[in-house]
Amino acid sequence: MNQATSPFKIAAIQMVSTPQVEENFSTARKLVAEAAQQGAQLVLLPEYWPIMGWQDSDKVTIAESLGAGPIQRFMAGLAKEHNIHLIGGTLPLISQESGKVLNATLVYGPGGEQLSHYDKIHLFSFNKGEESYDEARTISYGKDVTTFNAPCGKVGLSVCYDLRFPELYRAMGDCSLIVMPAAFTYTTGKAHWEILLRARAIENQCYVLAAAQGGKHPNGRRTWGHSMLIDPWGEIKMVLPEGEGVVSGEIDADYMRQVRENLPALRHRKL
């Protein structure tokens, strides 16, 4: 594993994003600054942080080309200003499919340079009573499993519904940290969010950092929240149930190595 001397401080930002991009910029700016003041060296924004529109198609209207646009400039500037690794939750990038976007995670280094890019692979759909979602109507499927190297080691990128597909995380290989920006619905989050996050940490014997949308949005949607940091033994180190705020903690490489030595499950894999 490529790891720096521990501990390495990380943070997740929880938001209740609105249909107004500039309003969300203001919230993200404030919370990322708060995380940096707490000593965070890597900060994760939630899924859909720049916009939770009145309707799903609103994100198509603000989609950017990769490498250009106000949302990307904003994230690069934040990373550089605070000298951090910033994992930008998701933003809409222009897709080759008409009327759709890629739900993309972009990673920026402390100098504001783009380090990595992941397009969400698994697209959420859910129907129960009056609750109905189908992301594939406005989002194109991503294709590539993506990781990048940070001072804490290899970081695996995933988004929201990806959490239900453990084979994705096995394909990432040996990670020190898995990140999960999300906008889980209240219904599915209450039932499955914590148990799935803890399972991914336990089975991969690594840290999991989850940054969620958490509250009642102007468009009427309610998201589950409960941003959290989980250690390689599956213990929740910090959690924020609802509302805006910061969840922070440390990656302890020595502790992760000890967990893997005590229970060498990763070495015992046969498939």
Write the pLDDT tens digit of every residue in 30-44.
999 999 999 999 999
Whether residue 80 lies in the annotated active site: no
Residue of 190, 207, 65, 200 whose CA lies nearest to 150: 207
What's the pLDDT tens digit per position in 192-246?
A: 999 999 999 999 999 999 999 999 999 999 999 999 999 999 999 999 999 999 9
The mean per-residue pLDDT over the stretch 236-261 comes to 98
The average pLDDT across 261-271 equals 95
Rounded CA separation 59/64 (Å): 10
Q: How confident is the model at residue 2 (pLDDT cuts 50, 70, 90)?
A: very low
Specify the pLDDT at position 176: 98
pLDDT value for 131: 83
- The model's pTM: 0.96
Distance CA 197, CA 210 (A): 8
Arithmetic mean of pLDDT, 74-78: 98
| Sequence ranges of the domains in the chain | 8-266
The pLDDT value given to residue 132: 86
Q: Identify whether 97 is a catalytic site residue.
A: no
pLDDT for residue 1 is more than 80:
no
DSSP symbols for 90-138: -EEEE-SSTT-EEEEEEEE-TTS-EEEEEE--S--EEEETTEEEEGGGT
Indicate if the pLDDT at residue 5 is higher than 80.
no
- Mean pLDDT score, 166-191: 98
Q: What percent of the chain has pLDDT over 70?
A: 98
What is the model's pLDDT at position 62? 97
What is the band of 4 on the pLDDT scale with cuts at 50, 70, 90?
very low
Active-site annotation holds for 135:
no
CA separation for the pair 91, 25 (Å, rounded):
12
> Which one is catalytic: 9, 47, 206, 250?
47
Instruction: Return the pLDDT at 6.
Output: 57
Alpha carbon of residue 180 to chain centroid: 3
Rounded to 10 deg, the angle between the 70-82 and 21-37 helix axes is 10
Tens of pLDDT, residue by residue over 6-26, are 589 999 999 999 999 999 999
Domain at 8-266: CATH code: 3.60.110.10
Please give the Cα distance from 246 to 122 (Å, whole number): 27
271 has a pLDDT exceeding 90: no
Q: Which of 64, 120, 206, 244 is catalytic?
A: 120
Q: What is the mean pLDDT of residues 172-192?
A: 98
Residue 183 confidence (pLDDT): 98
Exactly one of 9, 59, 152, 160 is catalytic; name it.
Answer: 160
Give residue-wise pLDDT tens across range 111-168. Answer: 999 999 999 999 999 998 888 889 999 999 999 999 999 999 999 999 999 999 999 9
Q: Are 135 and 127 in contact (CB under 8 A)?
A: no
